[in-house]
Amino acid sequence: MSKITIIGSGRVGSTIAYSLTCREMATEIVIIDVNGEKALGEALDIRQGLAYGSPCLVYAGNYEDAKDSDIVV
């Protein structure tokens, strides 16, 4: 699997993050946004739904957290 960074936690970014977790396409997803609280909220919402699904690590981060990403969206 891979590490994927998503820049922007609006409708498109959060939908991409959710879809990636549902399809188990990544082991780690970093969500970056100018509004850090929004990115954190989106990451927490997605993580809450992972209890019965994907073993993916989803979290809000910054550009330093994007290091070693396989894909950046």
Which residues, other chains included, contact 20 with Cβ-Cβ below 8 Å and sequence gap of 6+? 4, 26, 29, 56
What is the reported pTM? Answer: 0.91
What DSSP letter does each residue of 6-50 carry, written as one string? EE--SHHHHHHHHHHHHTT--SEEEEE-SSHHHHHHHHHHHHHTT
pLDDT confidence of residue 24: 87
Residue range 60-67: mean pLDDT, rounded: 96
What is the C-alpha to C-alpha distance for residues 19 and 34, in angstroms, rounded to an integer?
22
Q: In this predicted model, what pLDDT tens digit does every residue of 6-49 receive, in sequence order?
A: 999 999 999 999 999 988 889 999 999 999 999 999 999 999 88
Structural tokens at position 50: 């992972």
Strand partners, 4: 29, 71
